[in-house]
Amino acid sequence: MPTITTSDGVKIFYKDWGSGQPIVFSHGWPLTADDWDAQMMFLLHQGYRVIAHDRRGHGRSEQVGTGNDMEHWVADLAALTEQLDLRDAIHIGHSTGGAEVASYVARHQERVAKAVLVSSPTPSMLQTDSNPGGQPQEWFDAVQGGVVGNRSEFFRSVPEGPFYGFNRSGAEPSEAVIANWWRQGMSGSAHAHYETVFTWLQDYSEDLRAITVPVLVMHGDDDQIVPFASAVPRAVDLLQNGSLKTYAGFPHGMLTTHADVINPDLLEFIAS
């Protein structure tokens, strides 16, 4: 399997397909690079080089007990882009990966052409007086409780319910999609998944303010994980060169449930 080794000795798995301008994908919690397959195949066939890695502690990357935090994830992504000598890259992040992309781009804009934040928690998703639309602290505690309890059962309930909006009236749940989410999640480290929740409590406002390259924010207005009102309007206001694409009724996992809509929109922004 292709891997790079970080400065602290962690092996990071990655996929690297095609040639042309590089597009780098950062996945959400508790998933892997596989969650981007629909987007990678689509953009590969449009003539782009597509790259996605498994975050440390996730999937095929090493399950280490340290560094499961945003600072190390950004350093790992920087190590990947350095070792692959990526320049003029488009970075696309979903959910937790959106925060990773925002933090990376804010620090390494000399390598970046554009960025896309999909269902991202940026700038913050914790409910506070200044962010009343966010998730309450009890919600984050419940996620960590699910990880340390019966993780296998919890990792069925999330995709069966709010992640893909399969709990909504009239929704048609896909067993294959649910099982694929479970497969990816269970391949990773329970410790890394638990630690990830702390990164959802962070505020990424300063990262967004520092970004000067064009950024597309894509969000469904029925996102039950990162509520639309919590992140999206504030993110676009903070970005110097940001634009917003809102999807009526789309869930958090719209990359999978609505790839036929999302993929052409990604291509339009990338090619513009």
pLDDT digits (tens, 9 = 90+) for 29-39: 999 999 999 99
Span 65-85, average pLDDT = 97
Q: Is the pLDDT of residue 45 over 90?
A: yes
Q: Is the pLDDT of residue 231 over 90?
A: no
From the list 35, 37, 207, 223, the catalytic residue is 223
Q: How confident is the model at residue 146 (pLDDT cuts 50, 70, 90)?
A: very high
How much of the chain, in percent, has pLDDT values that exceed 90? 99
Mean pLDDT of the residues in the chain: 97
Which structural domain, as residue segments, surrounds residue 209? 3-271
CA distance 166 to 168: 5
CATH code for the domain in which residue 237 is found: 3.40.50.1820
Q: What does the pLDDT read at residue 87?
A: 95
pLDDT digits (tens, 9 = 90+) for 167-216: 999 999 999 999 999 999 999 999 999 999 999 999 999 999 999 999 99
Asked about 189 being catalytic, the answer comes back as no
Asked about 221 being catalytic, the answer comes back as no
Q: How confident is the model at residue 55 (pLDDT cuts 50, 70, 90)?
A: very high
From the list 26, 61, 95, 120, the catalytic residue is 95
Q: What does the pLDDT read at residue 1?
A: 83
How much of the chain, in percent, has pLDDT values that exceed 70? 100
Asked about 72 being catalytic, the answer comes back as no
- When divided into structural domains, the chain yields a total of 1
